[in-house]
Amino acid sequence: MTDPRTRLQGLWLPLITPFRDGALDEPSLRNLIRHYAARPIDGLMLGATSGEGLALSWDERARLVGVVRDELAATGRPLPICLGVGGVATADLIEALDRTASWPIDFYLISSPPYVRPSQRGLLAHFTALAERTTHPIVLYNIPYRSAVGLDNETLLQLAEHPAIAGLKDCCANRMQTRDLIARKPAGFRLLTGEDAQSFDALQAGAEGAILLSAHLETETFAAILQHVRAGRHDAAAACWTEVEDLTRLLFTEPSPAPAKYWLARTGVIASPEVRLPMVEVGAALAARLDKEIERRTAAAQSRVA
């Protein structure tokens, strides 16, 4: 039997969740899947930060997973799916794992409990309890600027030994911590960078992949960066990074995923840039900047074709 950890590599897309008039926009969701199934991605994250997962009801999450899985089957690309599951109390997260045990997913993405700021011993006990209960392998999500507490590398190395913990989405925003973990982690534990603006450095240091909101745009270029890094073509990788580095900052000028949704709506991939409160759509100044960048990149793409 194939180890599921082997699928946790390459370029993953933390898929935005399209809304229209307050509801899940299934036609746009299907169009999104057809759009990205034709592009060089290796997996999909659903209902996580970029997917506004905390704003989704359980019924919406079930529909989200079902529609994505059905559409992937129709396109003939059975990409792995990782579902974001969040919460504070360990008991509530165990209930969520039980609720979704039969869902057609491949991994869970779980961050540290926000607000309560447990100790490292508490985090170790929390994630171990989840790993002991889960049906699907867990991808840890280390993002201390959102959860208010981060996973130290010593804690991560202990958790990496658990057979139900497959890897890490690394958003620690600490270059030295990332490099130290890459150097010390066991071979089967996969580290995928999730810090868009720092992703090139993490890939060069040995990360097995990347989970990037920015890869909603210029998907082929982000995929090429991974391919060049793997092949040791560092100059080619750096040249590709130069083409997209500015996007990794522009798309986070206002809270994500509003800028990416605006771009996707303006280019016809989804019907509406709608987000759910307390998120709001981009302001007029950023919309003008995004419009200008869309026009510039569209013109550059057309000139390359010509």
Per DSSP, the three-state class of 301 is helix
CB atoms within 10 A of CB 48: 27
- Please pick, among 141, 185, 261, 262, the residue that the annotation labels catalytic: 141
Pairing of strands 19-20, 23-24: antiparallel
Active site residue 141: yes
Burial class of residue 300, CB neighbours in 10 A (0-12, 13-18, 19+): exposed
Q: Are 270 and 34 in contact (CB under 8 A)?
A: no
Q: How many CA atoms lie within 13 A of 203 on its CB side?
A: 30
What lies within 8 Å, CB to CB, of 250 at 6+ separation is 259, 289, 290, 293
- Please pick, among 108, 169, 185, 261, the residue that the annotation labels catalytic: 169
Active site residue 292: no
CB atoms within 10 A of CB 287: 18
Rounded distance between C-alpha atoms, residue 180 and residue 182, angstroms = 6
Question: How many angstroms from the chain centroid is the CA of residue 23?
Answer: 22
50 is in an annotated binding site: yes
Residue type, 83: L
16 is in an annotated binding site: no
Structure tokens at 295: 């026009």
User: Annotated binding residues for pyruvate, as ranges?
Assistant: 50, 211
User: Annotated binding residues, as ranges?
Assistant: 50, 211
Report the catalytic residues.
141, 169
